């Protein structure tokens, strides 16, 4: 295995361990679902999850055609994160949700994750 492959595996393991630590304390309910963030190399995803019932209340992805058309080629950057954050806040309001618990998914609260969270807060989501 090359050094690059080892390093990328270590990064994935670090994120997974951090996510397990976060998930041991953060849990979503019907009144206050968990806002979960996932980043792939090309896209960003956000979900509102009720962990008591095991149900996704609302979901947004930069992969969706209406968001993808607004973003153009950059579907995994900070601008995409802002758009995904604003859209998840709007969908939460439509579902009657105003308060959420933020689950950064083991990622560092910086860059895309921070942009998504701040955009959701600006649109009225409370966390």
Does residue 26 lie in a domain region?
yes
pLDDT band at 99 (very low <50, low <70, confident <90, very high): very high
Structural domain harbouring 69: 3-122
Structure tokens belonging to residue 6: 């080892």
Does residue 127 lie in a domain region?
no
Distance CA 74, CA 115 (A): 15
Q: What is the tens place of the pLDDT at every residue in 102-126?
A: 999 999 999 999 999 999 999 999 9
pTM metric for this prediction:
0.91
Full DSSP string of 4-25? HHHHHHHHHHHHHHHHHHHHHH
> Strand order in 44-50's β-sheet?
55-61, 44-50, 34-39, 101-103
Q: What is the tens place of the pLDDT at every residue in 71-88?
A: 988 898 999 999 999 999
Reduced to 3 states, what is the DSSP secondary structure of residue 17? helix
Output the domain CATH number for residue 16.
Answer: 3.30.420.100
Burial class of residue 23 (count of CB atoms within 10 Å of its CB; 0-12, 13-18, 19+) = middle
Does residue 47 lie in a domain region?
yes
Our count of domains for the chain comes to: 1
Residue 51 · residue 24 · CB < 8 Å: no
- What pLDDT is recorded for position 106? 95
**Which stretches within the chain are classed as H helix?**
3-25, 65-71, 78-94, 112-122
């Amino acid at each position: 295995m090359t050094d690059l492959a080892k390093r990328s595996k270590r990064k994935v393991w670090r994120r997974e361990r951090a996510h397990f630590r976060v998930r041991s304390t953060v849990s979503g309910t019907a009144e206050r679902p968990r806002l979960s963030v996932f980043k792939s190399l090309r896209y960003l995803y956000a979900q509102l999850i009720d962990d008591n019932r095991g149900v996704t209340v609302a979901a947004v992805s930069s992969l969706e055609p209406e968001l993808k058309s607004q973003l153009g080629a950059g579907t995994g950057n900070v601008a995409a994160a802002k758009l995904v954050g604003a859209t998840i806040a709007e969908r939460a309001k439509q579902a009657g949700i105003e308060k959420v618990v933020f689950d950064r998914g083991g990622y560092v609260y910086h860059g895309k994750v921070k942009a998504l969270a701040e955009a959701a807060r600006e649109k009225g989501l409370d966390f």
